[in-house]
Amino acid sequence: MNHPQIAAFARLAKENTPPTRTIIGQKTLISRTMHAFEYDAIHDEIVVPSPLAQAILVFHGGAKGEEAPARYIQGPQTQIVGTGYGALDAVHVDPVNNEIYLPIARDSVLVFDRTAQGDVAPKRILGGPDTQIRFPKPDQRGGLPNVAVDPVRNLLIVPSSGAIGDRRPASLLIFDRTASGNAKPLRVISGPDSELGGGKPHIYAPKGWIIASAAGGAIGVWSVNDSGNVPPRWRIPVTKITGMNVNGVEIDPLHKEIMVPTGNGNTVFTFYFPEIFD
């Protein structure tokens, strides 16, 4: 049986290349069903959700083997509560503003100080009917979409599902980064022409691009200034090219590349995409 782990590979690794190091073992507190962790390049830290422990784990950037977290957020005051298949499997770190964001199944986003430790309350909670945030329910197989922050424009991007039972985001909600409570979004990208898909969005802040999954197994690019039923500015038909599905996206601005993990092949595809970085 495979054990939960985080594996690090060389950027140019190809088929069957072994990892350069792994974080694995009981002392790490890493659990199964984590679907999106983040690397904080400013503070050299790895931020990981631990759904089964209902916690957020923070490791030193060079962690390996059975190394314990440098700190963790866990306990009743945190309001980190996971149920069934849906919740706590995706986390986002904003190293510029020193915050950690965690979507939870109660159609809310919890915000913590980046350096928070132990059983601490969130500094903000975004949720309520006016927010239009709707996440998949706990009895729906699969996890929650993640969020993304544009620190240049002080914006928070939250994918929201459509009708109950529909796991694909029907909209991208764009909030002021510091929005809390039952706040309304500043703008909403939604509609059939938007071709929204699922998974974690990513922000390329220098240009204000939102890079996320698009319908039909593709990667799409929208602007943080977009609103309404707008199509993506660019589109990569990943499934049509590779035959594999799309399980999110990550970007490497230095090398002008987009990395796409897949679930049905346990594979990561890398595309050269200079248009969005130039």
Rounded to whole angstroms, how far apart are CA atoms 199 and 90?
10
Average pLDDT of span 79-108 = 81
Average pLDDT of span 134-156 = 78
Q: How many residues does the chain have?
A: 278
Per-residue confidence (pLDDT) for residue 58, from 0 to 100: 95
The pLDDT-based confidence of 107 (bands split at 50, 70, 90) is: confident
Per-residue confidence (pLDDT) for residue 105, from 0 to 100: 78
Per-residue confidence (pLDDT) for residue 60, from 0 to 100: 94
pLDDT tens digits for range 25-72: 888 888 766 667 889 999 999 999 888 788 999 999 999 989 999 999
Average pLDDT of span 219-247 = 93
Given a cut of 90, whether residue 275 has pLDDT beyond it is yes
Give me Rg for the CA atoms of the chain.
Answer: 18
**Residue position matching structure tokens 């690019």:** 221
Given a cut of 50, whether residue 269 has pLDDT beyond it is yes
CB neighbour list of residue 133: distance below 8 Å, 6 or more residues apart: 107, 108, 109, 126, 127, 158, 160, 173
Q: Residue 129: is it exposed, middle or buried by C-beta count within 10 angstroms (0-12/13-18/19+)?
A: exposed
118-122, 137-141, 201-205: segment of lowest average pLDDT: 137-141
Given a cut of 70, whether residue 198 has pLDDT beyond it is no
Global pTM? 0.89
Rounded to whole angstroms, how far apart are CA atoms 168 and 135?
9
Rounded to whole angstroms, how far apart are CA atoms 230 and 164?
23
Per-residue confidence (pLDDT) for residue 121, from 0 to 100: 96
The pLDDT-based confidence of 138 (bands split at 50, 70, 90) is: low
Domains of the chain: 5-11+19-276 (2.130.10.10)
Given a cut of 50, whether residue 1 has pLDDT beyond it is no
Per-residue confidence (pLDDT) for residue 83, from 0 to 100: 53
Q: What are phi and psi of 10, to 5 degrees?
A: -65, 145
In whole angstroms, how far apart are CA 156 and each of 33, 37, 38, 203, 234? 24, 18, 16, 10, 21
Given a cut of 70, whether residue 82 has pLDDT beyond it is no
Give the CA diameter of the chain: 48
pLDDT tens digits for range 208-229: 999 998 988 899 999 999 999 9
